[in-house]
Amino acid sequence: MLTVRTTLSLVALLGLAALVGLTSVGPLGAAVVIAASLLTSTAAYRGRARASLRQMGGRPIQWFEAPDLYELVDALARRAGLPTPRLYLLPGEMVNAVAVATASSSAIGLTRPLLRYMPPDEVAAIIAHELSHIRHGDLPLNMVAAGLAGAAAVMAELGRFGVIFAWLLGAPVGLGELTAALMVAAGVPAVALALRMGISREREYLADAGAAALVGSPRLMARALQRLERLNQPTWWQRLLGYPAPVEPTGWAALISSHPPTRLRIARLLAMRTPRPNLAYFG
């Protein structure tokens, strides 16, 4: 699901990569690097659902181990118009869920603390959020954005080294030109990353709204986010041992964050209208 903001951000990433490529490696070189970056990111994405979760240490959850959970996921998937994803149990003490792959071949990883400490209706909301990512095509969109951002960064580095080597070899490169080239090369990866993370943050807002529609209650999704953040705070004994508490980025740091602040996500959810009654959630 493409929105105007996502489309503009992708166009801006493509334009940035093309502009940097034209000035550093020429039209043909820019086309080759952009195409290679997109092909590489796409190849890395396709068919990587189970492999990615296994690399994270996840193991498949068999139906007989959690029939109620599979029944819940199956009902939500049918409501979203998706095939039922395969479930994986992820290691770690964080309360978290991860979706990978596409609508035709998908999987969702869940951590044990999420299943243990969150009520069933809030687990349904978190799973609905991951299903919304799959339904909206967020995963391939993020891969395309990563490919374009990577191409821009690579070509900025090529341009930087090209100018440095030309200067070292005695080519007519002024100090001002050298300084400008270094500053541009340093700024391009940051701009590309900010554009890419902006896409990611928007997709999170859209997934929240999609989850609220699937479970029939924006307040339920907001409550799940509140509990998720609270459960991921370090306990008193962890604080004594020096475990840092998660801090939401602010200012410039927020521009390179993949997720919006939880408080803003909750505020948007609470401002939403309640979906139609026929989208009743699992209580």
| Parallel, antiparallel or unpaired: strands 97-101 and 59-60 | unpaired
Select from 15, 134, 34 the least CA-distant residue to 77. Answer: 134
Verify whether residue 157 is a known catalytic residue: no
Contacts of 189-192 with CB under 8 Å at 24 or more apart are: 189/149, 189/152, 189/153, 189/156, 190/256, 191/16, 191/152, 192/13, 192/16, 192/17, 192/148, 192/149, 192/150, 192/152, 192/153
User: Catalytic: which of 65, 130, 157, 204?
Assistant: 130
Q: CB-based contacts of 78: which residues, under 8 Å, 6+ apart?
A: 84
Chain centroid offset of residue 115 CA: 22
Q: Which residues are catalytic?
A: 130
